[in-house]
Structure 1
Amino acid sequence: MFVADTLEAWLAHLEQLHPSAIDMGLERVARVRDALGLKPGFPILTVGGTNGKGSVCAMLTAMLRAAGYKVGTYTSPHLLTYNERVRIDLEPASDAAIVAAFAAVEAARGDTSLTYFEFGTLAAMQQFIAAGVDVAVLEVGLGGRLDAVNAFDADVAAVVNVDLDHQAYLGDTREKIAFEKAGIYRPGQLAFCADPNPPQALLDVAAQQGAELRLLSRDYSWQLEAEGNQWACTTPAGTRHALPLPALRGNYQLGNAALAVAMLDGVRNRLPVSLGQVKRGLLEVEWPARCQVLPGRPQTVLDVAHNPHAARALRQALDGMGYAANTHAVFGAMADKDIASVVTILADRIDCWHLAAPQIARAASSEQLAGIVAAAAPKAQVKRYDSVAEAWRGACEAAGEADRILAFGSFYTVAEVMAARG
Structure 2
Amino acid sequence: MNQNIVPQATSSLPVWLDYLSNIHSSAIDLGLERVQIVAGRADLCKPAPLVITVAGTNGKGSTCALIESILLEAGYTVGVYSSPHLIRYTERVRVNGKELTEEDHCRAFDFIEKHRQDVSLSYFEFGTLAALALLKQARLDVVVLEVGLGGRLDATNVVDHDISVITSLAIDHTDWLGDDIEQIGYEKAGIFRAGRPAICGQYQPPSSVAGYADEIGATLYQAGIQYDHSVSDGVWSWKNGAFELDQLPLPGLPLPNAATALMTLQCSGLEITDVQVVQGLKKAALPGRMQEINDSPLIILDVAHNPHSASYLAGQISRKYPERHIHIVIGMLHDKDIAGTVSALMPIAGHWYPASLQGPRAASAAEIKRHLPELSASETYSSPAEAFEAAMTHVFGDDVILVVGSFFTIGEVLDCWQKREES
Task: Work out whether the TM-score is over 0.5.
Answer: yes
What fraction of aligned residue pairs are identical, expressed as a percent?
A: 40
Q: Encode CA deviations 1:112-135: one digit per residue, 9 max, x unaligned.
A: 010111111111111111110111
Counterpart-to-counterpart distance in 1, 2:350 and 2:248: 37
Task: Name the structure 1 match of 2:421.
Answer: none
Instruction: Work out whether residues 188 and 211 of structure 1, in 8 Å CA contact, stay in contact via their aligned partners in 2.
Output: yes
Whether 1:32 aligns to 2:38 is: yes
Name the aligned partner's letter for residue 24 of structure 1: L
Q: Encode CA deviations 1:53-74: one digit per residue, 9 max, x unaligned.
A: 1100000000000011110100
Query: Which residues in structure 2 correspond to 1:33-48 (within 5 Å)?
Result: 33-38=39-44, 39-48=46-55
Counterpart-to-counterpart distance in 2, 1:116 and 1:210: 33
Change (3 A) 1:117 1:276: same
Name the aligned partner's letter for residue 2 of structure 1: V
Runs of 4+ in 1 over 3 A off after TM superposition: none
Counterpart-to-counterpart distance in 2, 1:151 and 1:168: 23
Counterpart-to-counterpart distance in 2, 1:198 and 1:341: 20
Query: Which residues in structure 2 correspond to 1:173-184 (within 5 Å)?
Result: 173-184=180-191
Counterpart-to-counterpart distance in 1, 2:132 and 2:241: 31
Instruction: Work out whether residues 292 and 298 of structure 2, in 8 Å CA contact, stay in contact via their aligned partners in 1.
Output: yes
Q: SS at 2:385's partner residue? A: helix
Name which of structure 1's ranges 236-245 and 89-98 shifts more when overlaid on structure 2: 236-245
Q: CA RMSD in A?
A: 1.3
Instruction: Work out whether residues 166 and 200 of structure 2, in 8 Å CA contact, stay in contact via their aligned partners in 1.
Output: yes
Query: Which residues in structure 2 correspond to 1:9-408 (within 5 Å)?
Result: 9-38=15-44, 39-225=46-232, 227=233, 229-236=234-241, 238-248=243-253, 253-268=254-269, 271-373=270-372, 377-408=373-404
Counterpart-to-counterpart distance in 2, 1:96 and 1:231: 43
Change (3 A) 1:36 1:213: same
Query: Which runs of no fewer than 5 residues in structure 2 stay unpaired?
Result: 419-423
Question: Displacement, 1:237?
Answer: 7.1
Question: Displacement, 1:186?
Answer: 0.2
Name which of structure 1's ranges 351-360 and 127-136 shifts more when overlaid on structure 2: 351-360
Counterpart-to-counterpart distance in 2, 1:213 and 1:194: 11
Counterpart-to-counterpart distance in 2, 1:326 and 1:116: 41
Q: SS at 1:234's partner residue? A: strand
Q: SS at 2:149's partner residue? A: coil
Counterpart-to-counterpart distance in 2, 1:41 and 1:345: 40
Q: Encode CA deviations 1:264-293: one digit per residue, 9 max, x unaligned.
A: 01112xx21111111111001110111112
Q: Encode CA deviations 1:78-125: one digit per residue, 9 max, x unaligned.
A: 000011000000101111211111110000001101011111111111
Question: Displacement, 1:162?
Answer: 0.7
Instruction: Work out whether residues 324 and 402 of structure 1, in 8 Å CA contact, stay in contact via their aligned partners in 2.
Output: no
Name the aligned partner's letter for residue 233 of structure 1: W
Counterpart-to-counterpart distance in 1, 2:397 and 2:360: 35
Task: Name the structure 2 match of 1:2.
Answer: 6
Q: Encode CA deviations 1:129-163: one digit per residue, 9 max, x unaligned.
A: 11101110010000000000101022111111110
Counterpart-to-counterpart distance in 2, 1:360 and 1:169: 18
Counterpart-to-counterpart distance in 2, 1:191 and 1:243: 24
Q: SS at 2:49's partner residue? A: coil
Change (3 A) 1:395 1:221: same
Counterpart-to-counterpart distance in 2, 1:202 and 1:418: 37
Question: Displacement, 1:3?
Answer: 2.4
Name the aligned partner's letter for residue 90 of structure 1: G
Question: Displacement, 1:306?
Answer: 0.7
Counterpart-to-counterpart distance in 2, 1:321 and 1:238: 31
Instruction: Work out whether residues 112 and 126 of structure 2, in 8 Å CA contact, stay in contact via their aligned partners in 1.
Output: yes
Counterpart-to-counterpart distance in 1, 2:73 and 2:57: 27
Question: Displacement, 1:41?
Answer: 4.3
**The one of 410, 414, 419 aligned to 1:414:** 410
Counterpart-to-counterpart distance in 2, 1:327 and 1:247: 20
Counterpart-to-counterpart distance in 2, 1:3 and 1:321: 49
Query: Which runs of no fewer than 5 residues in structure 1 stay unpaired?
Result: none
Q: SS at 1:111's partner residue? A: coil
